[in-house]
Amino acid sequence: MSKQEIKLNFENGFNGELVSKNGSFQIGKKEEQLSPYDMYLGALGSCFYATFLEIIDKKKIALDRVSIKITGEKRTEVPTYLSWVNLDITIFNPSTEKGLEKSAQLAAKYCSVYQTTLKVADVKWKLHIK
């Protein structure tokens, strides 16, 4: 097991900072701050991508960069958890296209945040190669 720890500091209502050993960022409702669902969708995309990278590294597939656009919708009923989420993944200049689709399937299978989200939402992903 690996222990995770973060610290949340709030002032003046919902204005705060998330602090971890790796950095910090502002959270809240203002434009320059991240909301709880911004952080959740970011965690989903980051987990999926980190898992995907581990898989393609083992397959010795290189790429220039990846862009992941994540959209989702919350239910209006309480609790207002996500009803659906889409990950639109664009891979730029891979060394090979062979194995990328299977690697994304495995990333969805092994990413813990993806699997957790599946318990409440319809989660889908689509892969684009440029």
Residues 67-102 pLDDT 10s: 999 999 999 999 999 999 999 999 999 999 999 999
Could you tell me the CATH number of the domain that includes residue 89? 3.30.300.20
For residues 40 and 14, state if they share a domain.
no
For residues 122 and 60, state if they share a domain.
yes
For residues 66 and 113, state if they share a domain.
yes
For residues 72 and 23, state if they share a domain.
no
For residues 71 and 15, state if they share a domain.
no
For residues 65 and 8, state if they share a domain.
no
At 97, phi and psi to the nearest 5?
-90, -20
Q: Residue 13: left if φ>0, alpha if ψ -120 to 50, beta else—which one? A: left
Q: What is the span of the domain harbouring residue 24? A: 1-34
Residues 8-59: pLDDT tens digits? 999 999 999 999 999 999 999 998 999 999 999 999 999 999 999 999 999 9
Q: Residue 100: left if φ>0, alpha if ψ -120 to 50, beta else—which one? A: alpha
